[in-house]
Structure 1
Amino acid sequence: MTGTIGKRKNIFLVWLIWPFITLGVYFFVWTYKINRETKDFDHRVDVNPFWSMMSFLVGWIIIVPPFVSTYRLGQRIAQDQEAAGMRPSCNPWIGLILFFIAGLSALYYQNELNSVWEHYGTPPEGTRVPVPRDQQEPVQPTV
């Protein structure tokens, strides 16, 4: 089984600079991209990047969706770390707590996903790499 490497992004640009310059729009773009990258790396990750982004964009109306999406993103990144043969270090609870502290969850999650790309020696974005996780192993549902 192979997966596609995502783009290694500067964590401070993702967390502070680009959202500031774009008046917050970049956060939605980043949310879409990072969810797409988790799915492209391990196709067993169950996520629709568009709906994940929409949970932030309009989910505030009913309050809960952005928090659920933030937690689930942490689960997906941990799944990718495990699929890469790494010990999962991404904790969705930490990400959720950091979401309330100046939006630090973006910085934390991007750093954790960058660790997956670095595990493979930081190849260019779009590079196909082997994913050593056994294909017969059941994947935890993302409830």
Structure 2
Amino acid sequence: MKRRNPFAAWLGLPLITFGIYGLVWYYKINKEMAEFDNRRQIDPGMSLLAVTLGMFLIVPPYVSLYRTGRRIADAQRAAGLQPTCSGGLGLLLAFLGFYGLYYQIQLNKVVDRYGQIQPGTQVPLAA
């Protein structure tokens, strides 16, 4: 996974790109989690579709945001960390506009666990 500045991913880049980066970020984090632990079935395209076109059905974006929080907790567990990410809290923060900040901070914990390694390197998983 890639370490990102949480404030840039949450506010800076989405503001500059009129929200497009927020969608790109959401796709990328789901893709990176799928590559990090290939034991889990994650379809980043469907996750993105749920938060974009799924808005017309009302429920899919919230399900996707909740599941992304659970995936981050699973990634933390796989990295040998105590899972601190909560899909429920992420969903609550989505209503306030802060879920991107929260999720990126939680993802950075997984990245920091492994230190500086080359992108694409398979890392050992704890659980």
Q: Is the Cα contact below 8 Å between 2:77 and 2:126 reproduced in 1?
A: no
CA distance in 2, matches of 1:31, 1:16: 13
How far residue 46 of structure 1 moved from its aligned partner, in angstroms, is 1.9
Secondary structure of 2:123's counterpart equals strand
Long gaps (5+) in structure 2? none
Aligned match for 1:98, one of 77, 87, 93: 93
Runs of at least 4 residues off by over 4 Å: none
Deviation of 1:122 after TM superposition, in Å, equals 3.8
Letter in 1 for 2:117: P
Q: Which residue of 2 aligns with 1:141?
A: none
Q: State yes or no: 1:131 paired with 2:118.
A: no
Q: Pick from 59, 64, 67: which aligns with 2:59?
A: 64
The answer to which structure has the higher helix fraction is: 2
Q: Distance in 1 between matches of 2:118 and 2:55?
A: 36
In structure 2, C-alpha distance between the alignment counterparts of 1:18 and 1:126, rounded to whole Å: 24
- 1:116 aligned residue: 110
Query: Partner of 1:79 in structure 2?
Result: 74
Offset at 1:49? 0.2
1:29 maps to which of 24, 31, 37: 24
Q: Percent identity?
A: 47
C-alpha separation in 1, matches of 2:48 and 2:99: 15
- TM-score normalised by L of structure 2: 0.95
Gaps of 5+ in 1: 1-5, 134-143
Greater length-normalized contact order (CA 8 Å, ≥ 6 residues apart): 1
User: Which structure's residues are more often strand, by fraction?
Assistant: 1
